[in-house]
Structure 1
Protein backbone atom coordinates (compact mmCIF):
# COMPACT_ATOMS: atom_id res chain seq x y z
CA UNK A 1 0.00 0.00 0.00
CA UNK A 2 1.03 3.56 -0.63
CA UNK A 3 1.99 6.06 2.09
CA UNK A 4 1.67 9.79 2.54
CA UNK A 5 5.27 10.14 1.32
CA UNK A 6 4.26 8.44 -1.94
CA UNK A 7 1.22 10.73 -2.25
CA UNK A 8 3.35 13.82 -1.66
CA UNK A 9 5.87 12.75 -4.31
CA UNK A 10 3.11 12.03 -6.81
CA UNK A 11 1.36 15.34 -6.12
CA UNK A 12 4.63 17.26 -6.40
CA UNK A 13 5.34 15.56 -9.74
CA UNK A 14 1.86 16.02 -11.22
CA UNK A 15 1.48 19.63 -10.05
CA UNK A 16 5.14 20.60 -10.62
CA UNK A 17 4.44 23.11 -13.38
CA UNK A 18 1.24 24.55 -11.89
CA UNK A 19 0.93 27.89 -10.15
CA UNK A 20 -1.90 29.47 -8.18
CA UNK A 21 -3.57 32.76 -9.08
CA UNK A 22 -0.85 34.69 -7.24
CA UNK A 23 1.89 32.96 -9.22
CA UNK A 24 3.01 30.79 -6.30
CA UNK A 25 3.83 27.09 -6.82
CA UNK A 26 0.58 25.17 -6.44
CA UNK A 27 2.31 22.49 -4.35
CA UNK A 28 2.66 25.08 -1.56
CA UNK A 29 -1.14 25.06 -1.21
CA UNK A 30 -1.16 21.25 -1.18
CA UNK A 31 1.49 21.18 1.56
CA UNK A 32 -0.47 23.58 3.75
CA UNK A 33 -3.69 21.61 3.25
CA UNK A 34 -1.93 18.30 3.99
CA UNK A 35 -0.30 19.71 7.14
CA UNK A 36 -3.59 21.12 8.46
CA UNK A 37 -5.53 17.97 7.57
CA UNK A 38 -2.92 15.84 9.33
CA UNK A 39 -3.24 17.92 12.51
CA UNK A 40 -7.02 17.56 12.36
CA UNK A 41 -6.85 13.82 11.71
CA UNK A 42 -4.51 13.38 14.68
CA UNK A 43 -7.01 15.28 16.85
CA UNK A 44 -9.76 12.97 15.63
CA UNK A 45 -7.61 9.93 16.40
CA UNK A 46 -6.85 11.24 19.89
CA UNK A 47 -10.62 11.66 20.37
CA UNK A 48 -10.83 7.93 19.48
CA UNK A 49 -12.73 8.51 16.26
CA UNK A 50 -12.25 5.86 13.55
CA UNK A 51 -9.83 7.60 11.20
CA UNK A 52 -6.68 6.59 9.35
CA UNK A 53 -4.37 9.59 9.71
CA UNK A 54 -2.03 8.53 6.90
CA UNK A 55 -4.96 7.95 4.51
CA UNK A 56 -6.21 11.47 5.25
CA UNK A 57 -2.76 12.93 4.57
CA UNK A 58 -2.52 10.98 1.30
CA UNK A 59 -5.92 12.24 0.16
CA UNK A 60 -5.03 15.79 1.20
CA UNK A 61 -1.91 15.73 -0.99
CA UNK A 62 -3.93 14.23 -3.85
CA UNK A 63 -7.16 16.23 -3.41
CA UNK A 64 -6.72 18.19 -6.66
CA UNK A 65 -4.94 15.55 -8.76
CA UNK A 66 -8.05 14.23 -10.51
CA UNK A 67 -9.48 17.73 -10.96
CA UNK A 68 -6.33 19.48 -12.19
CA UNK A 69 -4.31 16.82 -14.02
CA UNK A 70 -4.96 13.99 -16.48
CA UNK A 71 -4.87 11.47 -13.63
CA UNK A 72 -8.09 9.55 -12.92
CA UNK A 73 -9.37 7.84 -9.79
CA UNK A 74 -8.75 4.52 -11.57
CA UNK A 75 -5.12 5.58 -12.13
CA UNK A 76 -4.73 6.17 -8.40
CA UNK A 77 -6.17 2.73 -7.61
CA UNK A 78 -3.90 1.15 -10.24
CA UNK A 79 -0.92 2.93 -8.66
CA UNK A 80 -1.68 1.22 -5.35
CA UNK A 81 -3.60 3.88 -3.43
CA UNK A 82 -6.16 2.38 -1.07
CA UNK A 83 -9.84 2.63 -2.00
CA UNK A 84 -10.56 4.81 1.07
CA UNK A 85 -7.92 7.33 -0.09
CA UNK A 86 -9.36 7.39 -3.61
CA UNK A 87 -12.90 7.75 -2.22
CA UNK A 88 -11.83 10.89 -0.33
CA UNK A 89 -10.15 12.27 -3.46
CA UNK A 90 -13.30 11.63 -5.49
CA UNK A 91 -15.48 13.35 -2.87
CA UNK A 92 -13.18 16.39 -3.01
CA UNK A 93 -13.03 16.52 -6.82
CA UNK A 94 -15.23 19.05 -8.61
CA UNK A 95 -17.74 17.08 -10.66
CA UNK A 96 -17.76 17.38 -14.44
CA UNK A 97 -21.38 18.54 -14.37
CA UNK A 98 -21.92 22.03 -13.03
CA UNK A 99 -23.20 22.09 -9.45
CA UNK A 100 -23.07 24.88 -6.92
CA UNK A 101 -20.29 25.07 -4.37
CA UNK A 102 -22.86 24.61 -1.60
CA UNK A 103 -24.06 21.38 -3.26
CA UNK A 104 -20.49 20.10 -3.46
CA UNK A 105 -19.97 20.77 0.24
CA UNK A 106 -23.32 19.13 1.03
CA UNK A 107 -22.20 16.00 -0.85
CA UNK A 108 -19.03 15.81 1.25
CA UNK A 109 -20.96 16.32 4.50
CA UNK A 110 -23.69 13.83 3.53
CA UNK A 111 -21.04 11.20 2.77
CA UNK A 112 -20.20 11.03 6.47
CA UNK A 113 -16.53 10.72 5.50
CA UNK A 114 -14.73 12.52 8.33
CA UNK A 115 -11.41 12.52 6.46
CA UNK A 116 -12.91 14.27 3.43
CA UNK A 117 -14.67 16.76 5.71
CA UNK A 118 -11.42 17.61 7.50
CA UNK A 119 -9.53 17.97 4.22
CA UNK A 120 -12.19 20.25 2.74
CA UNK A 121 -12.14 22.35 5.90
CA UNK A 122 -8.34 22.62 5.64
CA UNK A 123 -8.59 23.48 1.93
CA UNK A 124 -11.15 26.22 2.57
CA UNK A 125 -9.13 27.70 5.41
CA UNK A 126 -6.05 27.87 3.23
CA UNK A 127 -7.99 29.40 0.33
CA UNK A 128 -9.49 32.05 2.65
CA UNK A 129 -6.29 32.78 4.58
CA UNK A 130 -5.14 36.40 4.58
CA UNK A 131 -1.58 35.00 4.54
CA UNK A 132 -2.21 33.59 1.07
CA UNK A 133 -0.98 36.15 -1.46
CA UNK A 134 -3.88 36.12 -3.89
CA UNK A 135 -6.97 38.26 -4.11
CA UNK A 136 -10.16 36.60 -2.91
CA UNK A 137 -13.32 38.63 -3.36
CA UNK A 138 -15.76 39.20 -0.53
CA UNK A 139 -18.29 36.86 -2.13
CA UNK A 140 -15.77 34.02 -2.20
CA UNK A 141 -14.73 34.73 1.40
CA UNK A 142 -18.37 34.57 2.49
CA UNK A 143 -18.78 31.29 0.62
CA UNK A 144 -15.71 29.82 2.33
CA UNK A 145 -16.85 31.09 5.75
CA UNK A 146 -20.26 29.48 5.34
CA UNK A 147 -18.70 26.26 4.10
CA UNK A 148 -16.22 26.12 6.97
CA UNK A 149 -19.01 26.58 9.52
CA UNK A 150 -21.00 23.75 7.96
CA UNK A 151 -17.95 21.48 7.76
CA UNK A 152 -17.01 22.18 11.40
CA UNK A 153 -20.57 21.48 12.54
CA UNK A 154 -20.62 18.20 10.58
CA UNK A 155 -17.28 17.10 12.05
CA UNK A 156 -18.42 18.00 15.57
CA UNK A 157 -21.66 16.05 15.04
CA UNK A 158 -19.45 13.03 14.30
CA UNK A 159 -17.59 13.50 17.61
CA UNK A 160 -14.72 15.68 16.42
CA UNK A 161 -13.54 17.99 19.23
CA UNK A 162 -15.14 21.44 19.08
CA UNK A 163 -12.92 24.47 18.71
CA UNK A 164 -12.14 26.17 22.00
CA UNK A 165 -14.21 29.30 22.51
CA UNK A 166 -12.28 32.19 23.99
CA UNK A 167 -10.54 32.38 27.38
Structure 2
Protein backbone atom coordinates (compact mmCIF):
# COMPACT_ATOMS: atom_id res chain seq x y z
CA UNK A 1 0.00 0.00 0.00
CA UNK A 2 1.28 3.47 -0.86
CA UNK A 3 0.69 5.18 2.47
CA UNK A 4 2.14 8.49 1.30
CA UNK A 5 -0.37 8.68 -1.57
CA UNK A 6 -3.20 7.65 0.77
CA UNK A 7 -2.16 10.32 3.27
CA UNK A 8 -1.91 12.98 0.56
CA UNK A 9 -5.42 12.11 -0.62
CA UNK A 10 -6.89 12.25 2.89
CA UNK A 11 -5.11 15.53 3.66
CA UNK A 12 -6.38 17.05 0.40
CA UNK A 13 -9.95 16.07 1.29
CA UNK A 14 -9.66 17.14 4.91
CA UNK A 15 -8.13 20.55 4.21
CA UNK A 16 -10.25 21.35 1.14
CA UNK A 17 -11.41 24.95 1.35
CA UNK A 18 -9.23 25.85 4.35
CA UNK A 19 -6.92 28.85 4.23
CA UNK A 20 -3.80 29.71 6.19
CA UNK A 21 -3.28 33.00 8.05
CA UNK A 22 -2.14 34.69 4.83
CA UNK A 23 -5.23 33.55 2.90
CA UNK A 24 -3.52 30.82 0.87
CA UNK A 25 -4.89 27.28 0.52
CA UNK A 26 -3.89 25.45 3.71
CA UNK A 27 -2.94 22.30 1.81
CA UNK A 28 0.05 24.22 0.38
CA UNK A 29 1.56 24.34 3.88
CA UNK A 30 0.91 20.64 4.40
CA UNK A 31 2.50 19.82 1.02
CA UNK A 32 5.62 21.85 1.87
CA UNK A 33 5.99 20.06 5.20
CA UNK A 34 5.68 16.68 3.47
CA UNK A 35 8.13 17.73 0.74
CA UNK A 36 10.71 18.56 3.42
CA UNK A 37 10.74 14.91 4.55
CA UNK A 38 13.14 12.72 2.55
CA UNK A 39 13.85 8.98 2.61
CA UNK A 40 11.22 8.19 5.24
CA UNK A 41 7.78 7.26 3.93
CA UNK A 42 6.26 6.86 7.41
CA UNK A 43 7.31 10.40 8.35
CA UNK A 44 6.25 11.76 4.96
CA UNK A 45 2.78 10.21 5.33
CA UNK A 46 2.53 11.60 8.87
CA UNK A 47 3.57 15.01 7.53
CA UNK A 48 0.65 14.95 5.10
CA UNK A 49 -1.67 14.10 8.00
CA UNK A 50 -0.04 16.23 10.71
CA UNK A 51 -2.98 18.65 11.10
CA UNK A 52 -5.89 16.37 10.22
CA UNK A 53 -6.67 15.13 13.74
CA UNK A 54 -6.35 18.59 15.29
CA UNK A 55 -7.96 20.74 12.59
CA UNK A 56 -10.32 18.43 10.68
CA UNK A 57 -12.24 16.46 13.27
CA UNK A 58 -14.71 15.13 10.69
CA UNK A 59 -11.78 13.29 9.03
CA UNK A 60 -9.83 12.33 12.16
CA UNK A 61 -11.23 8.80 12.37
CA UNK A 62 -9.86 8.04 8.90
CA UNK A 63 -6.32 8.34 10.25
CA UNK A 64 -6.97 5.07 12.12
CA UNK A 65 -6.72 3.19 8.80
CA UNK A 66 -2.99 3.98 8.63
CA UNK A 67 -0.21 1.85 10.17
CA UNK A 68 0.60 2.40 13.85
CA UNK A 69 3.79 4.44 13.29
CA UNK A 70 1.83 6.98 11.22
CA UNK A 71 -1.19 6.99 13.56
CA UNK A 72 0.99 7.40 16.65
CA UNK A 73 2.95 10.25 15.07
CA UNK A 74 -0.18 12.11 13.98
CA UNK A 75 -1.71 11.66 17.43
CA UNK A 76 1.40 13.06 19.14
CA UNK A 77 1.38 16.06 16.79
CA UNK A 78 -2.15 16.96 17.87
CA UNK A 79 -2.18 19.59 20.62
CA UNK A 80 -5.08 17.66 22.13
CA UNK A 81 -2.70 14.80 22.97
CA UNK A 82 -1.05 16.59 25.90
CA UNK A 83 -2.18 18.53 28.95
CA UNK A 84 0.13 21.48 28.29
CA UNK A 85 2.86 22.77 25.97
CA UNK A 86 5.70 21.37 28.09
CA UNK A 87 4.25 17.85 27.95
CA UNK A 88 3.39 18.25 24.26
CA UNK A 89 6.95 19.14 23.25
CA UNK A 90 8.53 16.62 25.63
CA UNK A 91 6.54 13.78 24.07
CA UNK A 92 7.43 14.88 20.54
CA UNK A 93 11.10 15.26 21.49
CA UNK A 94 11.15 11.57 22.52
CA UNK A 95 9.54 10.29 19.28
CA UNK A 96 11.85 10.40 16.22
CA UNK A 97 9.08 10.43 13.59
CA UNK A 98 7.04 13.09 15.37
CA UNK A 99 10.15 15.19 15.94
CA UNK A 100 11.09 15.01 12.26
CA UNK A 101 7.63 16.15 11.17
CA UNK A 102 7.31 18.84 13.85
CA UNK A 103 10.67 20.36 12.90
CA UNK A 104 9.61 20.46 9.24
CA UNK A 105 6.29 22.02 10.29
CA UNK A 106 7.99 24.73 12.34
CA UNK A 107 10.52 25.42 9.59
CA UNK A 108 7.71 26.04 7.13
CA UNK A 109 5.59 28.08 9.53
CA UNK A 110 8.56 30.20 10.60
CA UNK A 111 9.97 30.77 7.11
CA UNK A 112 10.63 34.49 6.64
CA UNK A 113 8.79 34.53 3.30
CA UNK A 114 5.63 33.26 5.03
CA UNK A 115 5.93 35.60 7.98
CA UNK A 116 6.32 38.63 5.69
CA UNK A 117 2.82 37.91 4.35
CA UNK A 118 1.30 38.50 7.80
CA UNK A 119 0.57 41.61 9.80
CA UNK A 120 3.73 42.63 11.69
CA UNK A 121 2.20 42.01 15.12
CA UNK A 122 1.07 38.52 14.11
CA UNK A 123 4.45 37.72 12.56
CA UNK A 124 6.26 38.88 15.72
CA UNK A 125 4.01 36.76 17.93
CA UNK A 126 4.58 33.72 15.73
CA UNK A 127 8.36 34.23 15.65
CA UNK A 128 8.32 34.07 19.44
CA UNK A 129 6.05 31.03 19.45
CA UNK A 130 8.24 29.11 17.00
CA UNK A 131 11.48 30.07 18.78
CA UNK A 132 10.01 28.77 22.05
CA UNK A 133 8.86 25.57 20.32
CA UNK A 134 12.35 24.95 18.89
CA UNK A 135 13.89 25.53 22.30
CA UNK A 136 11.44 23.08 23.89
CA UNK A 137 12.27 20.47 21.25
CA UNK A 138 15.98 20.76 22.02
- Give the distance between the partners of 1:126 and 1:64, measured in 2 at CA: 14
Report the equivalent of 1:8. 8
Report the equivalent of 1:103. 87
Q: Tell whether the 8 Å contact from 2:33 to 2:47 is kept in structure 1 after alignment.
A: yes
- Give the distance between the partners of 1:66 and 1:97, measured in 2 at CA: 13
- Give the distance between the partners of 2:24 and 2:51, measured in 1 at CA: 16
Partner of residue 62 from structure 1, selected from 49, 56, 65: 49
Secondary structure in structure 1 of the residue aligned to 2:112: coil
Structure with the bigger percentage of helix? 2
Larger Rg: 1
- The Cα shift of 1:103 comes to 3.5
Q: Normalising to structure 2: TM-score of the pair? A: 0.84
- Give the distance between the partners of 2:24 and 2:99, measured in 1 at CA: 26
1:82-129 deviations in Å (ceiling 9; x for gaps): 0110000000011177623x43212211xx211100110111111111
- Give the distance between the partners of 2:45 and 2:82, measured in 1 at CA: 26
Alignment gaps of 5+ in structure 2: none
Report the equivalent of 1:124. 106
Residues 144/107 of structure 1: CA separation in 2 closer, same or farther (3 Å cut): same
Residue correspondences, number: 133
Moved over 4 A (4+): none
Q: Tell whether the 8 Å contact from 1:56 to 1:115 is kept in structure 2 after alignment.
A: yes
- The Cα shift of 1:140 comes to 2.6
Partner of residue 123 from structure 2, selected from 128, 133, 137: 137
The root-mean-square deviation of aligned C-alpha atoms, in Å, is 2.0
- Give the distance between the partners of 2:82 and 2:35, measured in 1 at CA: 30
Alignment gaps of 5+ in structure 1: 43-52, 154-167
